[in-house]
Amino acid sequence: MQRVSFPDGTSVPALGQGTWKMGEHRGSRRTEADALRLGLDLGLTVIDTAEMYGDGGAEEVVAEAVDGRREEAFIVSKVYPHNASRRGVAAAAERSLRRLRTDRIDLYLLHWRGGVPLEETVAGFEDLREAGKILRWGVSNLDTDEMEELFGFAAGRCCAANQVLYNPEARGIEFDLLPWCRTRNIPVMAYSPIGQGGRLLRNAALRAVADRHGATPAQVALAWALRQPGVIAIPKASDPAHVRENAAAVRLALTPEDLAAIDRAFPPPARKRPLAML
C-alpha cells in the first residue's frame, strides 16, 4: 500500500478508516469495533474519529477495536471549535484520551474553525504535544486563506495535516488548497471520499470505469482520491464486506482514459471555489 509522510517523517498508509456515525447506538458498537479491527488486519491502520461522533461514542468504539493492538493503530481525533480555547482543548483532549483508553493521540485536529483565535488553539495544541498527550496536531475544514493565516505565526507552522471533504463531486481543493499543502509536505486527509447518500456511486461514469476493471464504484472513487500524492482517504465501513471492498481499492490502478472519463463527468476546478464541507 502506498504511504503518506507527515512533516516529522512519520509515514502511514494512504488508506485508513473513518468512524463518523459510529458509536451512536450501543447495540451496534461491537459490530463496528469488529469492522475497525478487520481494517487493522488489512493494513488500514489510520483510524479517524472525533469527540463529536456519537457524543464520544465513536472514540469508545475505537478503544474497543484497538484493545491489545494500540501500537498498530494511528489514531486521529478532533476537538469541537467551542472546546478549542487553550484551557478547553486540554480538558477536551483528556476526555478523549479516557474514552480512547490510551495515553496519547497520534494526530489531534481542530474540527472546524470557530470563534476561538487560531493562535490560542495552537498554543493549547503545543501544550498537549509538549506533555506527550498528543504526538502531532492539525486542522480540519480550513481553506487556503486560513492556512496562510495559520502559517502567519511560528507555532502554526507545526500543523501536520488538514482534513477536508474530497471526492469527484467535491474537488475544488485541487485548484489551490491541495497544491498549497503539498508544497509544504502537509498531508490532506480526504473525508467522505466515496460521497454521502450513494449519489456519487450511482454515477454512470464511475460505474463504467468500475465495470472495465471488475471493480465497484466505491473502489473507483477511492482509487481516484489515492492517485493524488499526499492524500490519506478515510472511508467509513461498518461491515466486513465493505471493509474488504475498501481495502482492495489500493490494488486498482486507474488509466488515463479512466481519469479522463471521470473528468468529463466531474470537471476539475478552473477557478477558486469555496471550500466544500459536510
pLDDT for the residue 56:
98
Q: What is the pLDDT of residue 14?
A: 98
53 included as an active-site residue:
yes
Looking at the structure of the chain, the number of domains it has is 1
3-state secondary structure of 75: strand
Best CA proximity match to 103, nearest among 57, 55, 71? 71
Does any domain span residue 67?
A: yes
Residue 210 counted as domain residue: no
Residue 30 lies in a domain: yes
pTM of the model: 0.97
- Per the structure, the complete domain to which residue 151 belongs is given by 12-198+229-239
Handedness of CA 60, 61, 63, 67 (dihedral sign): positive
Q: Which three cell numbers stand for residue 230?
A: 499526499
Given a cut of 70, the residues of the chain with pLDDT beneath it are none
Is the residue at 204 inside a domain? no
Which residue in 14, 6, 10 sits closest to 251, CA to CA? Answer: 14
Task: Check 53, 108, 166, 191 and give the catalytic one.
Answer: 53
Evaluate whether residue 7 is within a structural domain: no
The pLDDT value given to residue 94: 98
For residue 271, what are the contacts with CB-CB under 8 A and spacing of at least 6? 175
Look at residue 271 and tell me if it is in a domain: no
Residue 259, domain member (yes or no): no
- Measured in degrees and rounded to the nearest 5, phi and psi for residue 231 equal -110, 130
In a domain, residue 185? The reply is yes
Q: Which domain CATH number covers 193? A: 3.20.20.100
Return the number of other C-beta atoms located less than 10 Å from residue 207's C-beta: 14
C-alpha grid cell, residue 128: 498537549
Question: Which residue stretches of 131-172 are H helix?
Answer: 144-150
Residues comprising the chain, all counted: 278
